[in-house]
Amino acid sequence: MWSAQALTEESCWTWRAPVAAGPVSNWPTITRRTWGQCINGAPVGSLEAALALPAGSAGFVVVIGKPALRLKLCARIGERGHRLVNVIHPTAVVEPSAKLGVGVTIGAMAVVNSNACIGDAVLANTAAIVEHDAVIGDGVSLAPQSCVGERSVVGAEAFMCLGALILPRLKIGAGAVIGAGAAVYDGIPDRVLALRAPARPIRRLDESFDWAKLL
Protein backbone atom coordinates (compact mmCIF):
# COMPACT_ATOMS: atom_id res chain seq x y z
CA MET A 1 0.00 0.00 0.00
CA TRP A 2 1.22 3.49 -0.82
CA SER A 3 -0.17 6.47 1.05
CA ALA A 4 0.15 10.20 0.40
CA GLN A 5 0.11 12.81 3.16
CA ALA A 6 0.37 16.51 2.26
CA LEU A 7 -1.62 19.65 1.49
CA THR A 8 -0.62 20.44 -2.08
CA GLU A 9 0.08 18.31 -5.11
CA GLU A 10 3.59 19.73 -5.40
CA SER A 11 4.47 18.56 -1.87
CA CYS A 12 2.64 15.24 -1.92
CA TRP A 13 5.13 12.66 -0.76
CA THR A 14 4.43 9.02 -0.10
CA TRP A 15 5.17 6.17 2.23
CA ARG A 16 4.84 2.47 1.77
CA ALA A 17 3.48 -0.23 4.07
CA PRO A 18 2.38 -3.85 3.57
CA VAL A 19 -0.98 -4.41 1.89
CA ALA A 20 -1.86 -7.03 4.52
CA ALA A 21 -4.75 -6.19 6.84
CA GLY A 22 -3.87 -4.91 10.28
CA PRO A 23 -3.63 -1.76 12.40
CA VAL A 24 -2.85 1.41 10.47
CA SER A 25 -2.07 4.28 12.83
CA ASN A 26 0.30 7.18 13.43
CA TRP A 27 0.06 8.55 9.88
CA PRO A 28 3.35 10.43 9.45
CA THR A 29 3.79 13.98 8.24
CA ILE A 30 6.03 13.66 5.21
CA THR A 31 8.13 16.30 3.48
CA ARG A 32 10.89 16.26 0.90
CA ARG A 33 13.41 16.08 3.75
CA THR A 34 12.11 12.62 4.71
CA TRP A 35 12.75 11.07 1.29
CA GLY A 36 15.03 8.06 1.66
CA GLN A 37 14.20 7.64 5.35
CA CYS A 38 11.90 5.20 7.11
CA ILE A 39 8.92 6.41 9.16
CA ASN A 40 6.99 3.86 11.25
CA GLY A 41 9.02 1.18 9.49
CA ALA A 42 8.02 2.34 5.99
CA PRO A 43 10.39 3.76 3.34
CA VAL A 44 9.60 7.27 2.10
CA GLY A 45 9.85 8.50 -1.48
CA SER A 46 8.17 10.77 -3.99
CA LEU A 47 4.68 10.21 -5.35
CA GLU A 48 6.05 10.12 -8.89
CA ALA A 49 8.41 7.31 -7.92
CA ALA A 50 5.50 5.33 -6.52
CA LEU A 51 3.40 5.91 -9.63
CA ALA A 52 6.29 4.65 -11.77
CA LEU A 53 5.92 1.17 -10.24
CA PRO A 54 4.50 -1.49 -12.58
CA ALA A 55 0.74 -1.16 -12.86
CA GLY A 56 -1.05 -3.34 -10.34
CA SER A 57 2.04 -4.01 -8.23
CA ALA A 58 0.89 -1.87 -5.30
CA GLY A 59 -2.36 -0.71 -3.76
CA PHE A 60 -2.82 2.99 -3.06
CA VAL A 61 -4.79 4.91 -0.46
CA VAL A 62 -4.72 8.71 -0.25
CA VAL A 63 -5.18 10.22 3.22
CA ILE A 64 -4.79 13.91 2.42
CA GLY A 65 -7.42 15.90 4.29
CA LYS A 66 -8.35 18.32 1.49
CA PRO A 67 -11.18 16.56 -0.39
CA ALA A 68 -10.66 17.99 -3.88
CA LEU A 69 -6.95 17.19 -3.85
CA ARG A 70 -7.61 13.68 -2.55
CA LEU A 71 -9.97 12.98 -5.46
CA LYS A 72 -7.53 14.51 -7.94
CA LEU A 73 -4.73 12.26 -6.76
CA CYS A 74 -7.01 9.20 -6.78
CA ALA A 75 -7.86 9.95 -10.41
CA ARG A 76 -4.17 10.31 -11.21
CA ILE A 77 -3.41 6.96 -9.57
CA GLY A 78 -6.16 5.28 -11.61
CA GLU A 79 -4.92 6.82 -14.83
CA ARG A 80 -1.54 5.19 -14.23
CA GLY A 81 -3.16 1.77 -13.97
CA HIS A 82 -2.89 1.34 -10.20
CA ARG A 83 -5.63 0.19 -7.86
CA LEU A 84 -7.10 2.02 -4.89
CA VAL A 85 -7.52 -0.05 -1.73
CA ASN A 86 -9.57 0.44 1.43
CA VAL A 87 -7.90 0.74 4.82
CA ILE A 88 -10.11 -0.11 7.81
CA HIS A 89 -8.72 0.01 11.33
CA PRO A 90 -9.34 -3.25 13.24
CA THR A 91 -11.25 -1.40 15.97
CA ALA A 92 -13.67 0.19 13.47
CA VAL A 93 -17.16 -1.27 13.00
CA VAL A 94 -18.43 -1.58 9.44
CA GLU A 95 -21.74 -3.39 9.15
CA PRO A 96 -21.85 -6.07 6.43
CA SER A 97 -24.80 -4.35 4.71
CA ALA A 98 -22.89 -1.07 4.35
CA LYS A 99 -21.48 -0.30 0.91
CA LEU A 100 -17.96 1.10 0.50
CA GLY A 101 -16.38 2.63 -2.57
CA VAL A 102 -12.64 2.38 -3.27
CA GLY A 103 -9.78 4.28 -1.68
CA VAL A 104 -11.72 4.57 1.60
CA THR A 105 -9.96 5.07 4.94
CA ILE A 106 -11.85 4.27 8.15
CA GLY A 107 -10.01 5.11 11.36
CA ALA A 108 -9.89 3.65 14.84
CA MET A 109 -13.26 3.22 16.58
CA ALA A 110 -15.18 4.67 13.63
CA VAL A 111 -18.63 3.22 12.91
CA VAL A 112 -20.40 2.71 9.58
CA ASN A 113 -23.86 1.37 10.32
CA SER A 114 -26.26 -0.81 8.35
CA ASN A 115 -27.08 0.09 4.77
CA ALA A 116 -24.95 3.23 4.82
CA CYS A 117 -23.34 4.07 1.48
CA ILE A 118 -19.77 5.40 1.47
CA GLY A 119 -18.39 6.86 -1.76
CA ASP A 120 -14.89 6.66 -3.19
CA ALA A 121 -11.89 8.23 -1.43
CA VAL A 122 -13.81 8.99 1.77
CA LEU A 123 -11.75 9.66 4.89
CA ALA A 124 -13.56 8.74 8.13
CA ASN A 125 -11.25 9.63 10.97
CA THR A 126 -11.06 8.42 14.59
CA ALA A 127 -14.47 7.63 16.13
CA ALA A 128 -16.44 9.18 13.26
CA ILE A 129 -19.98 7.79 12.97
CA VAL A 130 -22.08 7.24 9.85
CA GLU A 131 -25.51 6.07 10.88
CA HIS A 132 -27.77 3.63 9.04
CA ASP A 133 -28.93 4.48 5.52
CA ALA A 134 -26.81 7.63 5.37
CA VAL A 135 -25.09 8.47 2.07
CA ILE A 136 -21.57 9.90 2.02
CA GLY A 137 -20.40 11.33 -1.31
CA ASP A 138 -17.03 10.88 -3.00
CA GLY A 139 -14.08 12.55 -1.32
CA VAL A 140 -15.86 13.53 1.90
CA SER A 141 -13.74 14.10 5.02
CA LEU A 142 -15.21 13.14 8.39
CA ALA A 143 -13.04 14.46 11.22
CA PRO A 144 -12.70 12.69 14.58
CA GLN A 145 -15.98 12.25 16.50
CA SER A 146 -18.12 13.76 13.74
CA CYS A 147 -21.52 12.11 13.31
CA VAL A 148 -23.87 11.80 10.33
CA GLY A 149 -27.42 10.94 11.37
CA GLU A 150 -29.50 8.24 9.73
CA ARG A 151 -30.69 8.81 6.17
CA SER A 152 -28.76 12.06 5.85
CA VAL A 153 -26.88 12.79 2.62
CA VAL A 154 -23.46 14.45 2.59
CA GLY A 155 -22.46 15.81 -0.81
CA ALA A 156 -19.16 15.11 -2.56
CA GLU A 157 -16.05 16.86 -1.20
CA ALA A 158 -17.80 18.11 1.95
CA PHE A 159 -15.73 18.40 5.11
CA MET A 160 -17.09 17.77 8.61
CA CYS A 161 -14.77 19.15 11.27
CA LEU A 162 -14.04 17.79 14.73
CA GLY A 163 -17.20 16.82 16.60
CA ALA A 164 -19.63 18.14 13.98
CA LEU A 165 -23.14 16.66 14.14
CA ILE A 166 -25.72 16.24 11.37
CA LEU A 167 -29.21 15.35 12.49
CA PRO A 168 -31.17 12.64 10.63
CA ARG A 169 -32.70 13.06 7.17
CA LEU A 170 -30.78 16.20 6.21
CA LYS A 171 -28.75 17.14 3.15
CA ILE A 172 -25.29 18.71 3.25
CA GLY A 173 -24.28 20.33 -0.02
CA ALA A 174 -21.25 19.39 -2.09
CA GLY A 175 -18.07 21.06 -0.92
CA ALA A 176 -19.64 22.43 2.26
CA VAL A 177 -17.57 22.71 5.45
CA ILE A 178 -19.27 22.10 8.78
CA GLY A 179 -17.22 23.69 11.58
CA ALA A 180 -15.94 22.01 14.72
CA GLY A 181 -18.69 21.30 17.21
CA ALA A 182 -21.43 22.56 14.89
CA ALA A 183 -24.86 20.94 15.04
CA VAL A 184 -26.81 20.87 11.78
CA TYR A 185 -30.58 21.04 12.28
CA ASP A 186 -31.45 22.01 8.69
CA GLY A 187 -29.99 21.46 5.23
CA ILE A 188 -26.76 23.24 4.23
CA PRO A 189 -26.20 24.46 0.65
CA ASP A 190 -23.21 23.72 -1.57
CA ARG A 191 -19.79 25.22 -0.88
CA VAL A 192 -20.44 27.24 2.25
CA LEU A 193 -18.83 27.34 5.68
CA ALA A 194 -21.41 26.62 8.39
CA LEU A 195 -20.71 27.19 12.08
CA ARG A 196 -22.31 27.00 15.54
CA ALA A 197 -25.41 25.26 16.85
CA PRO A 198 -27.74 25.40 15.11
CA ALA A 199 -25.32 25.62 12.19
CA ARG A 200 -25.75 28.55 9.83
CA PRO A 201 -23.77 29.41 6.67
CA ILE A 202 -21.46 32.36 7.33
CA ARG A 203 -19.62 32.61 4.00
CA ARG A 204 -19.29 31.15 0.55
CA LEU A 205 -16.19 29.07 -0.07
CA ASP A 206 -13.81 29.95 -2.89
CA GLU A 207 -10.11 29.64 -3.70
CA SER A 208 -9.25 32.09 -0.90
CA PHE A 209 -10.39 29.65 1.80
CA ASP A 210 -7.46 28.63 4.03
CA TRP A 211 -7.62 24.85 4.25
CA ALA A 212 -4.62 24.80 6.58
CA LYS A 213 -6.94 25.95 9.37
CA LEU A 214 -8.84 22.65 9.09
CA LEU A 215 -5.97 20.29 8.41
Dihedral over Cα of 74, 10, 192, 199: its sign: positive
Residue 58 reports pLDDT greater than 80:
no
Please indicate, yes or no, whether residues 175 and 70 belong to a single structural domain of this protein.
Answer: no
Q: Report the alpha-carbon angle 34-38-44, nearest 5.
A: 55
pLDDT at 211: 76
Q: What is the mean pLDDT of the chain?
A: 83
Please indicate, yes or no, whether residues 101 and 179 belong to a single structural domain of this protein.
Answer: yes
Give catalytic residues, as residue numbers.
132
Residue 20 reports pLDDT greater than 70:
no
pLDDT at 213: 72
Please indicate, yes or no, whether residues 139 and 190 belong to a single structural domain of this protein.
Answer: yes
Structural domain range at position 33: 2-84
- pLDDT-derived band at 35 (thresholds 50, 70, 90) equals low
Domain-terminating residue out of 36, 64, 84: 84
Please indicate, yes or no, whether residues 184 and 145 belong to a single structural domain of this protein.
Answer: yes
**Phi, psi angles (nearest 5°) of residue 103:** 70, 25
Is residue 142 a contact partner of residue 125, using CB atoms and an 8 Å limit?
yes
